[in-house]
A and B are shown apart, each in its own frame.
Chain A
Amino acid sequence: AQRVTQPEKLLSVFKGAPVELKCNYSYSGSPELFWYVQYSRQRLQLLLRHISRESIKGFTADLNKGETSFHLKKPFAQEEDSAMYYCALSWNAGNMLTFGGGTRLMVKP
C-alpha cells in the first residue's frame, strides 16, 4: 500500500532563512508527487507537482527515487509562506491521492 510521511508537524524559521519541508513516500509503482498548500482561511491548493519541474513562489521540489523523497525547498523564507503544507502521492489512473500528515510552516519576522 502507498504511504506518505511528513516527519515534522511544525517547522519554525526566521524570515530570510532557508526552508526544507521533508516528505518521504512508499509506493511500489511509478510515483507522481505533489505539494499542496493551505494558507490561513483559504482552501487547499496545488503548489507544485514533480512532473512539471517548475518553481512556484520560489519553492522547488526534486523527486529522489533512490531515497523515496520529495522534499520541498525554498532558499529564503517569507512571512507569507506561513501555511500548512501537504505532500501527496498519486497512485492510480483514477487520480487518487494519498496525503501526508502535513507540516505547519511558521515564518517569524
Chain B
Amino acid sequence: NAGVTQTPKFRVLKTGQSMTLLCAQDMNHEYMYWYRQDPGMGLRLIHYSVGEGTTAKGEVPDGYNVSRLKKQNFLLGLESAAPSQTSVYFCASSYVPPGLTDTQYFGPGTRLTVL
C-alpha cells in the first residue's frame, strides 16, 4: 500500500496563477484533510471531508477550494495564488469509528512557493 500520496512535491507559482494539489489514499478511509504548515504555527486545517461528495471548511479556508468526487481523492485548489499561501501543504486521511477518534495518516507534503 502506498498510503497517502500527494502530487506535486514542489511547485512555484506567480501571484494570481491557479493550481490544484492532488491527494490520494488507498486505505479506504472516509475522512480526508488538508493542512498547511507554517513555521511556529504548527499545522492548520484548511478543509476536510467526511466522505465522498462532502467537504467542509476548517480553520483557514479562505483562498482555497476543495473537491472530493471520489472516495480515494481529495483535491485542493488555489484559484488566484497569493504570496501568503507560500507554505507546505499536507494531506491526511483517517478511519473514524462512529463517535470516536483515530490516527490521521499523512502524506509527504507539497512545498508551494508563490512569488
Residues of chain A at the chain B interface (Cβ within 8 Å): 4, 6, 9, 32, 34, 43-46, 49, 86, 90, 93-102
The CA-CA distance from A30 to B50 in the complex, in Å, is 22
Contact B45 A97 (CB under 8 A): yes
Contact B58 A102 (CB under 8 A): no
**What is the number of contacts between chain A and chain B, taking CB atoms within 8 Å?**
56
Residues of chain B at the chain A interface (Cβ within 8 Å): 4, 31, 33, 35, 40-45, 48, 50, 58-59, 90, 92, 94, 96, 98-104, 106-109
Chain A residues, Cβ within 8 Å of B94: 95
Contact A43 B106 (CB under 8 A): yes
3 tightest Cβ-Cβ pairs between the two chains A and B? A99-B42, A44-B106, A90-B101
Contact B101 A95 (CB under 8 A): yes
B93 CB to nearest A CB, Å: 10
Chain A residues, Cβ within 8 Å of B90: 43-44
A2 CB to nearest B CB, Å: 10
